[in-house]
A and B are shown apart, each in its own frame.
Chain A
């Protein structure tokens, strides 16, 4: 039986009067692909930010990879992110003045040492071996997202978080990105937590949780 990588109990997040995440219990086994579905404002991105150590919960407990995130200060959370987590955003968030290769090397810089050969290999794995020296402005949306995937996996994270990573892509690019993620997961054996509001994208996961108004309202497990 796989070990548990994410373990949350009574996890709550409030912004002043607004409760973005109501007490939530969640357990994610290592290697699972968990899809988080819900409308805007349902609390799915809040959950992702808490799990990724980008934000701090108001109440409850949260352990990721056995690490208690509540006990960490801001810089401690940053160190956790660089060691454990790879993140893919809907808006890509690539640094505009760096090439595809340099964007990947930037993640290496914050983790350990920039290694050009390793970054080149990561980009070749996502099919961008011939676009290494191109800047984000010279790449298509799908290519930019593949740079983001290479950047997210370069430090061999145990947890890959996707915040609507296919939200800005067309149908073929979406399929290409999801297939790439599936292939990489089978090789790297990382856990995926992906936020989406698209049922078809969510269906790529092993399990889907549905959120509404900050509450986990339904859970579906894929039947093989």
Chain B
């Protein structure tokens, strides 16, 4: 029989002999690693789930042109400031996003005024494909516009008694623009007072080709702080103002960070408690086995050989506890994610390694003190039962 095989045989015999204590250690290790694994899985799944939820609230960053600001006053008198319209260059925004490496969904907007029935009305040029992804709460009666078509906000439609399918004529710097109204939109916000048409058509009508007044960005919650990424994008757009949409930022980042911190703290508390429990149980075991350890030393076992036996015992317990903990953790994670997020937990082999690693580390660290006792134990005194 090889020495390694004998060592494993010896450890299994010892563990089976003290099966009550062995089961207790396995339960502690399995519970600790399962909880850590489950919370890790939930945290991982939650990141993606929250990102999906946040998407429903639309953009979380807004890029605006820095308005040209002129102070008006004389001597010590100040009459305030006047601003004149300013625009973002569409190509500069695209280039800044590429250079900063920020992967974001975006919607580009140009806002202006056109004359309709002797009144100025606010119009906005957009890409309707982008709008459907980033502003999912828009309720549209009718269809999305094709070329030469527009949608009108519900308030504006009511003001001018506009109906779906009607054609409107608008006056702008380049003359008259005729648009068919494909639908009426309700958002519950300021959009209800606007008329929306395709971005290139408005840019052409206002003679502002390649110009934008707003860019809305939806940046995924995972992958770093929103504030950091806003600051990064700002570096590449010095003439613009990159602003967080606060409520959304709080939802996506603050909540996620707090819940993750809570989970981390719970995990730390569980691991510390489990570690203490392992230490206590292993200390009792070593105390009970002191004669046996003394005998092994008397038979010629060196301190390192004895340490190896006890470390191997802790390692095997850790592996068994980690394996059980992984299976249990998958169940707990699945239960939490289904109950809270109505989605399955994302289980990857990486979590099996995490569970085993935590359990083995816990078993070895928890056994460190008792193993030092084994190392130092005097064979003569222990055989005398002192």
A-side residues, CB < 8 A to B, are: 49, 52, 54-55, 74-75, 78-83, 85, 87, 89, 91, 93, 95-98, 102, 105-107, 109-111, 113-116, 151
Contacts and interface: CB of A to CB of B under 8 A. Distances in A.
Given A54-B379, A93-B291, A93-B383, A82 B10 contact: no
Nearest to A74: B303
Nearest to A80: B300
A106 B296 contact: yes
Contact of B297 (A78, A89, A96): A78
Interface string B344-386: 0000000000000000000000000000000000011001000
A113 B2 contact: yes
Contacts of A114: 1, 3, 6
Given A82-B300, A98-B10, A107-B300, 13 more contacts: A74-B303, A75-B303, A78-B301, A81-B298, A82-B301, A96-B17, A97-B14, A97-B17, A109-B7, A110-B299, A110-B301, A114-B1, A115-B1
A149 to B, nearest CB: 14
Contacts of B10: 98, 106, 109
Interface residues of B, number: 27
A83 B1 CA distance: 20
Nearest to A154: B299
A97 B17 CA distance: 6
B1 A116 contact: yes
Contact of A54 (B291, B298, B301): B298
Contact of B295 (A79, A95, A113, A115): A95
A151 to B, nearest CB: 8
B380 A110 contact: no
Given A95-B295, A96-B17, A102-B13, A113 B3 contact: yes
A49 B2 CA distance: 31
A17 B180 CA distance: 111
Given A97-B14, A97-B16, A102-B13, A113 B1 contact: yes
Contacts of A49: 380
Given A82-B299, A95-B292, A95-B295, A110 B305 contact: yes
A189 to B, nearest CB: 21
Nearest to A115: B1
Across the A-B interface, give the 5 residue pairs with the lowest CB-CB distance, nearest first. A82-B300, A97-B17, A75-B302, A81-B300, A78-B302
B109 to A, nearest CB: 78
Contacts of B79: none
B298 A87 contact: yes
B160 interface: no
Contacts of A97: 13-14, 16-17
Contacts of B300: 78-83, 85, 107, 110-111
Contacts of B380: 49, 54-55
A98 B13 contact: yes
The interface centre, meaning the residue of B292, B294, B304, B379 with most chain A CB atoms within 10 A of its CB, is B379
Given A89-B383, A98-B13, A116-B1, A105 B6 contact: yes
A114 B1 CA distance: 6
